[in-house]
Amino acid sequence: MRAARADRGSAPVEFVLVGTLLTLVALSVLQIALASHIRSTLIDAAAEGARHASLADTTITAGVERTRDLISTALGPSYARNVTATTSDYAGAPVVVVTVRAPLPLLGMAGLDDGLEVSGRAAIEPSG
């Protein structure tokens, strides 16, 4: 009888402690999913911008603008502030490289500025 009285009232405390821990784990998983979604979206936009810039009748600037438009539409203009493009060689072929630096979301959409960097490449189409 004495042991049963010592445990009396512990269920609500256990519920609060376990519930808090499970809520924290669930929110952490959602935050990781959000960060992965943002990274995937940025990679796709950078690759699409590189493909656009690599076409024979367009410029690198057009690829940067295409990337910015895609990111602004999908995630918002704050993620499209730092987009650059250069030409380079990859495996002996000339390529366009579009690089995006964006915030890494740590708490909701707020996070580290320029904490995430992705790039997309596309082979330059020969003109003529």
pLDDT at position 6: 66
Domain boundaries, the chain: 2-123
Closest CA to 67 of 88, 87, 81: 81
Q: Tell me the per-residue pLDDT of 21-70, one tens digit each, with 9 for 90 and over.
A: 999 999 999 999 999 999 999 999 999 999 999 998 899 999 999 999 99
Q: Tell me the per-residue pLDDT of 81-120, one tens digit each, with 9 for 90 and over.
A: 999 999 999 888 899 999 999 998 888 777 788 889 999 9
Q: Tell me the per-residue pLDDT of 3-16, one tens digit each, with 9 for 90 and over.
A: 556 667 788 888 88
pLDDT at position 70: 97
124, 69 Cβ separation under 8 angstroms: no
Closest CA to 122 of 45, 17, 23: 45
Question: For residue 1, is pLDDT > 60?
Answer: no
Angle at 45 between CA 36 and CA 28, to 5 degrees: 10
